[in-house]
Amino acid sequence: MSLFITSEGSRVTDSEILGQFELPQLHQMYMQMALQQAEMAARSDEVPVGAVIVREGSIIAAAHNQREMLRDPTAHAEMIAITQAAEAVGGWRLEDCILYVTLEPCPMCAGAILQARIPVVVFGALDPKAGAVSSLFEMLNDTRLNHRCEVVPGVLQDRCGQILTEFFRQRRAEGKK
């Protein structure tokens, strides 16, 4: 039996959840949590991207971009969340997890998703400049690779895109890169 936590904070079992929630509602609930991470990134003057990883109805990792703070070009939300999740499960194979991320993963993050064997990736906004899931490349479904993922695009797409648009509009107004 798995336990799920609803957006109101109440706990329900997987059998209860099947009767009360449909999969799109669950995706929206977890994407809201990824958006909370993105908002934390924006408050830290980081590009507002957030990610959560769910296993058996529980969030085992939650992260946001930290490239500026860590001075690390690889400190994307997905990379940090994957590392946290691997620590939580005690191994690198995340075969029973779902990754939720507010922005379509880049090539680096898509590679890490494949290496971690994450079977499902749910994302919000498309990334026309660096998206490696559907915009520029389809890395997660490339038949030449040894692992592929189910991809669920566009969950809370408008809000996920809006937080990025607002962030970069403010940066330009302040004369920042």
Annotated binding site for Zn(2+): 76, 106, 109
Residue 102 phi/psi, 5-degree rounding, is: -75, -20
Give the Cα separation of 164 and 88 in Å (integer): 29
11: which residues sit within 8 A by CB, 6+ positions away?
Answer: 3, 4, 5
Distances (CA, A) of 15 to 2, 81, 95: 8, 27, 22
Contacts of 112 (CB under 8 A, 6+ apart): 78, 79, 82
Q: Is 53 exposed, middle or buried (0-12, 13-18, 19+ CB in 10 A)?
A: buried
Annotated binding site: 76, 106, 109
- Catalytic position from the list 56, 68, 78, 174: 78
Whether 166 is catalytic is: no
Whole-angstrom distance, CA of residue 3 vs CA of residue 57: 6
- Mind telling me the catalytic residues? 78
